[in-house]
């Protein structure tokens, strides 16, 4: 481990959708694998302090409108999100932004995988 990094564990121990909670200083961070990529977000919900990273990891549901009179069809889109299990606030894994209001952001951290090991960068 180099300075400013915290070792999380073996990359191949993560399946898609897995979350590992680690300590970074005095805060908890959720390390999440989705679509083969790793993300790390503060495990503290800006709503009411809930464990934001401990809810389901999914694709965001999006709606597509086919034109006047057509139904808005819902489908799972490309963006991965995690939802706080306390009341459902949901955040993009990529940015930590709330999916409905980007003025709420969960701090995010860079994650690297080196020699099959996952590290969270804390600088």
Partner 1 sequence: MIDPAEHLVVDCDWHYADTFDQIAPYMPEPWKTKFQNSGWDSTGVNQGLSAFFPTSTGNRSNYGKIDREFSDYPQGGDEKADVIEGMEFLDIDATLQISHLILAMGGVTADDRRVESFIKGYIDYMLAEVLDPAEGIYGLAPLPYHDIDASMDVLDRIEDERAFKGVVMVTAGASPPLGNRKYDPIYERCEALGLPVVYHTGGSGLDDYVRAGYEEMIETHTLGFLESNMSQIVSVACQGVPEKFPDLDIVFMESGVTYLPGLISRLDEEYLKRAEEAPLLDAPPGDYISDFYFGTQPLEESARPDLLEICFDMLGTEHLLYASDYPHWDYDSPNIITDLPMLDDEQRKDILGRNASEVFGL
Which chain residues interact with ligand FES by CB under 6 A? 45, 47-50, 52, 84, 86-89
Task: Select 91 or 109, whichever has its Cβ closest to partner 1.
Answer: 91
Considering only residues 3, 71, 78, 115, which one is a binding residue for partner 1 as defined by CB under 8 A?
Answer: 71
Q: Considering the rule CB under 8 A, would residue 62 count as an interface residue with partner 1? A: yes
**Of ligand FES, partner 1, none, which one sits near residue 50, judging by CB under 5 to 8 A according to partner kind?**
ligand FES
The arrangement of strands across the sheet holding 90-92 comes to 57-65, 72-83, 90-92
Residue owning tokens 């057509």: 70
Residue owning tokens 């952001």: 105
Q: Considering the rule CB under 8 A, would residue 42 count as an interface residue with partner 1? A: no
Residue owning tokens 């495990």: 43
Task: Select 77 or 116, whichever has its Cβ closest to partner 1.
Answer: 77
C-alpha–C-alpha distance, residues 41 and 28, integer Å: 9
C-alpha–C-alpha distance, residues 59 and 74, integer Å: 12
Q: Considering the rule CB under 8 A, would residue 68 count as an interface residue with partner 1? A: yes
Task: Select 6 or 55, whichever has its Cβ closest to partner 1.
Answer: 55
Helix (H, G, I), strand (E, B) or coil at 12: helix
CB 83, min distance to ligand FES, A = 8
Answer whether 120's CB lies under 8 Å from 111's CB.
yes
Which residues bind to partner 1, rule: CB under 8 A?
47, 60-63, 65, 68-72, 74, 87-90, 98-101, 104
């Amino acid at each position: 481990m180099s300075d400013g990094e915290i070792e999380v564990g073996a990359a191949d121990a993560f399946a898609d959708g897995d979350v590992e909670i680690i300590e970074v200083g005095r805060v908890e961070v959720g390390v999440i694998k989705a679509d083969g990529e790793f993300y790390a977000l503060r495990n503290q919900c800006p709503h009411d302090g809930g464990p934001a990273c401990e809810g389901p990891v999914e694709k965001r549901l999006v709606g597509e409108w086919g034109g006047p009179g057509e139904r808005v069809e819902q489908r799972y889109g490309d963006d991965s999100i995690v939802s706080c299990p306390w009341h459902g606030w949901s955040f993009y894994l990529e940015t930590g932004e709330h999916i409905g209001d980007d003025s709420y952001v969960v701090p995010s951290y860079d994650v690297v995988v080196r020699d099959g090991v996952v590290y969270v960068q804390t600088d």
